[in-house]
Amino acid sequence: NAGVTQTPKFQVLKTGQSMTLQCAQDMNHNSMYWYRQDPGMGLRLIYYSASEGTTDKGEVPNGYNVSRLNKREFSLRLESAAPSQTSVYFCASSEVRGPYNSPLHFGNGTRLTVT
Amino acid sequence: AQSVAQPEDQVNVAEGNPLTVKCTYSVSGNPYLFWYVQYPNRGLQFLLKYITGDNLVKGSYGFEAEFNKSQTSFHLKKPSALVSDSALYFCAVRDGIDNFNKFYFGSGTKLNVKP
The verdict on a CB contact (< 8 Å) between B103 and A45 is yes
- What's the rounded mean pLDDT across residues A57-86? 96
Tell me the pLDDT band of B54, cut-offs 50, 70 and 90: confident
pLDDT for A79-88, tens place per residue?
999 999 999 9
Taking the C-alpha atoms of residue B10 and residue B108, their distance in angstroms, rounded to an integer, is 9
pLDDT for B80-98, tens place per residue?
999 999 999 999 998 766 6
Has residue B40 got a pLDDT over 90? no
By C-alpha distance, the chain A residue nearest B51 is: A100
**pLDDT reported for residue A4:** 96
The verdict on a CB contact (< 8 Å) between B49 and A92 is no
**pLDDT reported for residue B98:** 65
> Mutate which of A32, A36, A43 to test chain B, going by most B C-beta atoms within 10 A?
A43
**pLDDT reported for residue B103:** 87
Tell me how many helices (H) and strands (E) chain B has: 0, 12
